[in-house]
Structure 1
Amino acid sequence: MSKKFQRFVSVLLAAFALLVIFLPRPVVAADTHAFKAANGTIQVPNHPKRVVAGLYLGQVMALGVNVVGSTKLEMANPYLDQAKIKSMTDVGTPMSAEAVLKLKPDLIITNNESDTKKMEKIAPTVQIPYQKTQQFTSSMNYFAKLLNRPKQAKAFKKSFNTAAKKQIKRLNAAKISRKSTFGVYEMQSNKLYAYGSGFSRGAQAMLALGFKLSKPLQKVDSGAGFKEISVESLPKYQAHYMFVTTSSTKGQKDPVLVAMKKNPIWKSLAAVKANRVIELPFNKMYYYDPYATRAQLKIVTDALIKADK
């Protein structure tokens, strides 16, 4: 091969290499998916690595996604992995833009418009109304779609169903009828409330075990989901089993709650007479994420068996 031809081939190869370098490259689709949220259709990372979760900390953790920031109240959830909680930052309520920015999130999940407006300037932000997260199964499916984690959601639902079956066996062995109705009540800021199934307090666990809300409370459930009631109206909203909590820091020694128990109307309730009023700690019943609901299966079962003795 002549030297002239060799130089020609070398020049040709060099030119080809330059052509390859500078040719327009095909555009690779971004690693995101469209998610319809309260604040519009958002392009969400398929595999978020640094999430600020706000109110929905437990829902995100249940799907195995890394959370770098949340709120003090959600981080106090006793059912979450405390080792992981220690590595998170409290971003405040309302969320602090400065605190969130320092965390360099690739996804932010909010539950109100005020936080959303601030967070949208930092990273993709999804606003989720509380109503979307009130029922265990639909909430799991919703977050699985958001976070692209269908397998993890399926696994958690399986573990939840296994836990429910275990507690149902205990109830059957104790001969507790799951055809009985239940109600959820709470003393909050000196006011008494009756709740439906979507505001935690163990209601989702009770439904999973096969119990039903009493008919008047089913109406509350299909409406606003909660209702302020008077002690005088309690006979209308009573149930076979009545779960009572108080948000007071004094717990069951809350003076308003103590006064209610002395009221003749309270004493006349069938559940009170039969020792079927179940008082549970607020901090264990307030949370409603997947971890909390799964743990509450045993808590309410223990309480039902104890009340039935």
Structure 2
Amino acid sequence: MLKNKSYFAIFLLLISLFLVIAACSNTNNESNESKDKETRVVKTIHGDIEIPANPKRIVVESYLPTLLILGEEPVGATKVDVENVHIQDIINAGIESTGEGSMEKILELQPDLIISSDMDKGAFEKFSKIAPTIIIPYESYSDVHEEVRAIGGMLGKDKEAEKWLATFDEKIQQHREKVQAVMEEGETVSILGSFAKDTYIYGDGIYKGGQAIYKQLQLTPSKRIKEELIDKGESYKQVSFEVMTEYAGDYIFFDQSNGGKFDRNDPVWESVDAVKKGNVFYLDEKRFRAYDPIAVLAQAEEVADMLVAKKNSEK
């Protein structure tokens, strides 16, 4: 009789434990489901947009590197994003390419949030039919700090944003000091380029390392680039080849991209002082095309190393 009572007591105990575990499991499931359903409101150029507070399936165009440094791993990104040379050591192989923003592929990925630039002017109307959509036009942010903090705020990743920026600032300061140690007072730099069939001059915006060179390394622009571009908030300006040379600084960073043709032996080009002295750095198109935070940091390091190496060779 006593043995039967003991078995019965053990049975009741096991039943009680099972019910407790089941209750905890249900509570956790309900908590997770509730968390997944939470939303936040983000201010965008299309007004207030309600997005998931914890998006699980983000598709992104143009801002993949920024999401990665914030700890987000999108399910899809454009071909250009996925092939960005600056993120190959941190990109997840599971991020699928959406090509040039294929609607079919984006639908297949079933996103719960889409973040895009305004490359396609009808992007918002198309994408918002699939999932909540945030459109961030090109040059919305003046520098790395603005971009990382803004997108970090949208996704509830403010702490992650500040942590990454602290490291960014530390590294930029190191590169800046390297350059300052070799550049002489009053020496200027300029960013020029041949893009397709035209020639351009560039300011401190998102093109051709402009932010890295002028804003982060704080190199001094040639007088005309400062007055005609930077002071006016212009990122670039198309000019004739002959006029382009008039914007040359003591050191030139030259971009040749999108099939741009450029004759380095042209007499006009060879007459420029910086060219005569060999103070021209021809930029790698793939490495200086991107303008994301990771690219800007890498470009600043490369430019600093170029100048230091050049200066040391002159000793």
TM-score of the alignment, normalized to the shorter chain, above 0.5 = yes
Q: Which residue of 1 aligns with 2:113?
A: 107
CA pair 165-83 structure 1, distance change in 2 beyond 3 A: closer
Q: What code does the residue aligned with 1:273 have? A: K
**For 1:227-284, what per-residue CA distance to the aligned partner results, in whole angstroms no more than 9, with x for missing partners?**
11112112431122211111156xxxx6x31x2x222221222211222211121001
Measure, in 1, the Cα distance between the counterparts of 2:81 and 2:168: 21
**For 1:9-39, what per-residue CA distance to the aligned partner results, in whole angstroms no more than 9, with x for missing partners?**
xxxxxxxxxxxxxxxxxxx896222212122
CA pair 87-179 structure 1, distance change in 2 beyond 3 A: farther
What is the total number of aligned residue pairs between the two structures?
A: 273
Q: What code does the residue aligned with 1:107 have? A: L
Measure, in 2, the Cα distance between the counterparts of 1:292 and 1:243: 16
Q: What code does the residue aligned with 1:220 have? A: L
Q: Which residue of 1 aligns with 2:66?
A: 59
Q: Which residue of 1 aligns with 2:183?
A: 176
Q: Which residue of 2 aligns with 1:131?
A: 139
3-state SS of 1:86 partner: coil
Shift of 1:287: 0.8
Superposition TM-score, scaled by structure 2 size: 0.80
Q: Which residue of 1 aligns with 2:225?
A: 217
**For 1:277-299, what per-residue CA distance to the aligned partner results, in whole angstroms no more than 9, with x for missing partners?**
11121001111111111111211
Quick check: 1:178–1:209 contact (8 Å CA) kept in 2?
no
CA pair 86-168 structure 1, distance change in 2 beyond 3 A: same
Superposition TM-score, scaled by structure 1 size: 0.81
Residue pairs, 1:16-31, within 5 angstroms = 31=38
Quick check: 2:194–2:256 contact (8 Å CA) kept in 1?
yes
Quick check: 1:53–1:108 contact (8 Å CA) kept in 2?
yes
Q: Which residue of 2 aligns with 1:245?
A: 255
Q: Which residue of 1 aligns with 2:83?
A: 76
Question: Which of 282, 285, 298 in structure 2 is aligned with 1:279?
Answer: 282
Question: Which of 210, 214, 218 in structure 2 is aligned with 1:203?
Answer: 210
3-state SS of 2:140 partner: helix
Q: Which residue of 2 aligns with 1:160?
A: 168
Quick check: 1:42–1:124 contact (8 Å CA) kept in 2?
yes
Measure, in 2, the Cα distance between the counterparts of 1:168 and 1:220: 22
Quick check: 2:176–2:216 contact (8 Å CA) kept in 1?
no
Q: What code does the residue aligned with 1:295 have? A: A
Identity %: 29
Q: What code does the residue aligned with 1:118 have? A: K
Q: What code does the residue aligned with 1:129 have? A: P
Q: What code does the residue aligned with 2:242 have? A: E
Measure, in 2, the Cα distance between the counterparts of 1:123 and 1:194: 39
Question: Which of 37, 45, 56 in structure 2 is aligned with 1:38?
Answer: 45
Q: Which residue of 2 aligns with 1:18?
A: none
**For 1:95-127, what per-residue CA distance to the aligned partner results, in whole angstroms no more than 9, with x for missing partners?**
222211221212101112322211101111011
Question: Which of 286, 298, 301 in structure 1 is aligned with 2:301?
Answer: 298
Greater Cα shift, 198-207 or 54-63 = 198-207
3-state SS of 1:183 partner: strand
1:267 to 2:277 alignment: no
CA pair 267-135 structure 1, distance change in 2 beyond 3 A: same
Measure, in 2, the Cα distance between the counterparts of 1:45 and 1:181: 48
